[in-house]
Amino acid sequence: MTWLAVPLYAHAQGMSNAQIGALFAAPVLAQAPLNLVGGAYTDRIGGRRIMLGSCFVVMAAGLWFMVAAGFWMLMVGQVALILSRAAFWPATWAMATELPGERGVQLGRLNAVTNFGQIGGTVLCGFVLAAAGFGATFLVLTATGVLSLFAGLATPRLHKRHAALSARHPLAGYLPLLRRRIIVYTMLCAYLSALPFSLTMSFYPLLFAQFGHSEGASGVLLGLRAAGSILASLLTARFVRTGPQTLWPVTCGVAVAASVGFVPVINHVAPIALWMLIVGAATAAMTLYFQITISEASGVAERGSALALGGLGWSVSHLSTPLLMGFLADRYGIVVGFYVLGAFAAACAIVIAFTRHWAFQRS
């Protein structure tokens, strides 16, 4: 919900594009280390406890935004939300890999449910904003955190404590993981898969507002990205394969680049909706690819940490994308910013294409 509400809330308070970009980029500096800590403690105490703690933070952040005024109060709320997400993602990914059944299918279902929540939250946010304003929107966010907490309490306890982990420092396993080429490669894939996600949280709403679309229409358009992700997560989960021969990451990277770069070309709801569906599907397939690749390259005892490193690729994207877009939007306009980021995403796809075989070689 905050992807639409927070940038519009900041814009309504008179903040510049650079300040709005900083609201989404600066908290990621805190997300990166917590992401690693969350992954390490997922291996040690289980993802379920980490997930429940994240729900409490979301509830507190929603209440905070209801009274937030000015850049620094909004920054505090953003930090809380970013920290919650940083702990939540590696925890739930690790939980999904421990479920019975085919790993790709379980991860696809998790991603589909996540994106379904994004659709409901984004569309609901747009209509609540239009009907009742920002205060009511953040109250709904708090209520969502309460519902998530009760849903989390109903999940099974799957984690088994590993005796070898309790005898060493929680962060000790990261250096050996970073020595593996496959981990570095999947971090790049995660970075590219998160780039449109970062724009959804920051500058897509501003682009749609500049094009003259209402809050309700913007919510629907942003929800289409999640709809594309749901379809891709459910339909491609059985077909996504890892390994040096598969073209999944290259194809998805090219689709991400095209959909980001071409979305501002025609200011009409139909082509914009099409590009949002495409970018959602491409990022979902790329996310599944890096999740499956990391899961198969790591053991159960280190999977939370390995997935957290994939999440670190997301964190770097969430840091760099809003900052770069804020800089470009203030100097050259938001439309030019989307063109530049589309070209940058294409360059990332080219790098992935040329490093696939290197990544799967034993270092």
Please tell me the distance from the alpha carbon of residue 177 to that of residue 74, in angstroms, as a whole number. 36
| DSSP letter assigned to residue 237 | T
* Pairwise pLDDT comparison (319 vs 15), residue with the higher score: 15
Q: Is 158 among the domain residues? A: no
Residues 95-118 pLDDT 10s: 887 777 777 788 888 888 887 877
Please tell me the distance from the alpha carbon of residue 336 to that of residue 333, in angstroms, as a whole number. 6
Q: Is 313 among the domain residues? A: yes
Residues 147-162 pLDDT 10s: 989 988 888 776 555 5
Q: Is 168 among the domain residues? A: no
DSSP string, 170-221: TTTTHHHHHTSHHHHHHHHHHHHHHHHHHHHHTTHHHHHHHTT--HHHHHHH
Reported as a pLDDT band with limits 50, 70 and 90, residue 126 is: confident
CA atoms within 13 A on the CB side of 60: 14
Selection from 124, 90, 155, 98 nearest residue 4 by Cα: 124
What is the C-alpha radius of gyration for the chain, rounded to an integer number of angstroms? 19
Burial class (CB in 10 A: 0-12, 13-18, 19+), 131: exposed
Percent of the chain beyond pLDDT 90? 25
Range of the domain at 62: 2-153+179-360
Residues 185-216 pLDDT 10s: 999 999 999 888 878 767 888 899 899 988 77
Q: Is 330 among the domain residues? A: yes
Q: Is 135 among the domain residues? A: yes
Mean pLDDT of the residues in the chain:
84
Selection from 105, 64, 296, 325 nearest residue 199 by Cα: 325
Model pLDDT, residue 168 = 60
Residue type, position 34, single letter: L
Residues 218-267 pLDDT 10s: 878 887 888 888 888 888 777 777 777 788 889 999 999 999 999 999 99
Please tell me the distance from the alpha carbon of residue 38 to that of residue 86, in angstroms, as a whole number. 7
Residues 320-353 pLDDT 10s: 888 888 889 889 999 999 999 999 999 999 999 9
| DSSP letter assigned to residue 301 | G
Please tell me the distance from the alpha carbon of residue 208 to that of residue 219, in angstroms, as a whole number. 10
Question: Residue for token digits 């291996």?
Answer: 43
CA–CA distances in Å: residue 250 to residues 3, 220, 247: 27, 29, 5
Residues 282-318 pLDDT 10s: 998 998 888 888 888 877 777 888 888 887 888 788 7
Residue 167 has pLDDT above 90, yes or no: no
18, 330 contact by CB (below 8 A): yes
CATH number reported for the structural domain that contains residue 267 in this entry? 1.20.1250.20
Structure token pair of residue 300 = 């159960």
Task: Give the number of domains in the chain.
Answer: 1
Residues 68-101 pLDDT 10s: 988 999 999 988 888 888 778 778 888 887 777 7
* Pairwise pLDDT comparison (118 vs 280), residue with the higher score: 280
Q: Is 99 among the domain residues? A: yes
pTM: 0.75
DSSP string, 270-285: HHHHHHHHHHHHHHHH
* Pairwise pLDDT comparison (253 vs 174), residue with the higher score: 253
Q: Is 210 among the domain residues? A: yes
Residue 163 has pLDDT above 50, yes or no: no
Q: Is 235 among the domain residues? A: yes
Residue 164 has pLDDT above 60, yes or no: no
